Amino acid sequence: MDPHRISEEDTNCLRSFLRLPENVDLPEATLANQETRLLSESCRRMKQAFQRVMQKVSLLQVGSWWKFQATMGASWSDSPKKSKPEKAPFAHLIIDSHNIPSGTGKVNLTCWHHDKGWANVLNMTFSDGRLIANHDGFYYLYANVYFRHHETSGNLTGQTLQLMVYVTKTDAKRRNSVVLMKGGSTKNWSGESEFHFFSVNVSGFFKLKSGEMVSLQVSYPSLLDHSPEGTYFGAFKIRDID
């Protein structure tokens, strides 16, 4: 007989006890049950050995499952530390009153503080008065420009002033610019008031790609208020580009 092949008796034995309900205890099975009566002593020993093996397999499976859960739990808890996302890009610039340019038309406003007082830049680049995006995404851009004039600074009586603000995006590679936002008003200030004020605020969501620059242009920059709460400019990233 081939020692590597199971005997017919053993085969019948396996078929018999594998068909029995799981809650039947073989030694106590009733003799009225035909299949139980067919189980020999060797068959009962085989069934008991089979049950012990299955119990060990079940324990090993449970142990492996909990080990897997513990490992995955550790890796999940560690993953935020390993792949912690960098802080979202943002910038807030305030007016630099010592370098305000002159002019009356569309003048590039490059006089900003980026690391003084309330000003701060993170994960963006500030260069030559421009904000440069380092990461593609949708950004919220905002600007507030406060025009202010006192009678001691000169006489504006009878002059018509077009006080304007432009937020411009420039592609560094193509060197082309597009106006994203603008705001303003035509003012005719009389000589009857000691102070003259006008504030322009513009804001909106725009898509910026890495390397694109955002800058401000204004008319009559000499009339800009010098306070950081009056004239400022900024951006912060809202989400990635799909």
Each residue's pLDDT tens digit in the chain (242 positions)? 454 455 666 666 656 655 544 444 444 444 445 444 555 666 666 666 666 656 655 555 545 545 555 555 544 444 444 444 578 999 999 999 999 998 888 999 999 999 999 999 999 999 999 999 999 999 999 999 999 876 656 677 677 889 999 999 998 787 789 999 999 999 887 666 677 888 999 999 999 999 999 999 999 999 999 999 999 999 999 999 88
Cβ-Cβ contacts under 8 Å for 97 (sequence gap 6 or more): 111, 226
First to last CA, the chain: 70
Residue 25: other Cβ atoms inside 10 A: 7
Helix (H, G, I), strand (E, B) or coil at 116: coil
Q: What is the pLDDT of residue 30?
A: 46
pTM to 2 decimal places: 0.63
Q: What is the pLDDT of residue 242?
A: 80
Identify the bridge partners of residue 16 per DSSP, sorted by sequence position: none
The rounded distance, in Å, linking the Cα atoms of 213 and 210 is: 9
- Please give the single-letter amino acid code of residue 142: Y
Fold of the domain spanning 91-240: Jelly Rolls (2.60.120)
- Report domain extents, the chain: 8-63, 91-240
Q: Tokens 């050995």 label which residue? A: 49
Contact present, 109 and 215 (Cβ < 8 Å): yes
Q: What is the pLDDT of residue 174?
A: 74
